[in-house]
Chains A and B, each alone.
Chain A
Amino acid sequence: QVHLVQSGAVVKKPGASVNVSCTASGYTFTSYYMHWVRQAPGQGLEWMGMINPGGGFTNVAQKLQGRVTMTRDTSTSTVYLELSSLTSEDTAVYFCARAVIMRSGFDIWGQGTLVTVSS
């Protein structure tokens, strides 16, 4: 079975950085794109960016460029999202989601990771 398992909830102080992981199983890790989507409390879905685990190519949403880094470790089938210079507006549930090709919907999602930014 295909699964994406994310790291657990974290609390961070303003100005800090956070790292969220997403470990894939049940399929060929390098054959699918991985996207990151976040959802602030009571709000809609916001696309953050994507990574091609095969070659490492990334594409980050313009509003987050400079603060977001996406990486992958093919030996453990894991992708990582690092978000720096956190503010309270970054408090959200962060999801990883798989896509077959660049032009496709997101067919498998992780369970979500709650990141709370609070002093």
Chain B
Amino acid sequence: DVQLTQSPSTLSASVGERVTITCRASQSINRWLAWYQQKPGKAPTLLISEASSLESGVPSRFSGSGSGTEFTLTISSLQPDDFATYYCQQYNSYSPYNFGQGTKVEIK
């Protein structure tokens, strides 16, 4: 199974800061990686697919990059609505569609 490791687990940042979250895969997954945002008590929402393709309606301050085993999610200027937990997910191998353990973005 492909294992995904996110870092950091928790991130404290201020509004307006640039934020970067890393997701490392235990083996190459090409560009088959998605990023999700989840707020407390809500279902996750898809932000980015295929490592860097922004979903419709997602603000342009979100961006994704990477391929192979190392990926990043960047928020160029953190907004109050962005405080949430972020998960990466691989879909290179069909079973299991593993998720990373999550990164919680908190207010500094």
Contacts and interface: CB of A to CB of B under 8 A. Distances in A.
A59 B45 CA distance: 23
B74 interface: no
Contacts of B46: 105-107
A102 interface: yes
A104 B43 CA distance: 18
B4 to A, nearest CB: 10
Contacts of A106: 34, 36, 44, 46, 89
A103 B96 contact: no
Contacts of A110: 43
**Which applies to chain B's interface (DSSP): helix, strand, loop or mixed?**
loop
Contacts of A109: 43-45
B94 A46 contact: no
Contact of B95 (A44, A62, A97, A112): A62
By size class, the interface of chain B is 20 to 34
Contacts of B89: 45, 47, 105-106
A105 B54 CA distance: 11
A105 B49 contact: yes
Contacts of A62: 95-96
A47 B45 CA distance: 15
Nearest 4 interchain pairs by C-beta: A105-B34, A109-B43, A105-B49, A45-B99
Interface of B: 32, 34, 36, 38, 43-46, 48-49, 55, 87, 89, 91-92, 94-102
21 contacts: A44-B87, A44-B99, A44-B100, A45-B38, A45-B87, A46-B99, A47-B96, A47-B97, A59-B95, A61-B96, A95-B43, A97-B43, A97-B44, A102-B94, A103-B32, A105-B91, A106-B46, A107-B46, A109-B45, A110-B43, A112-B43
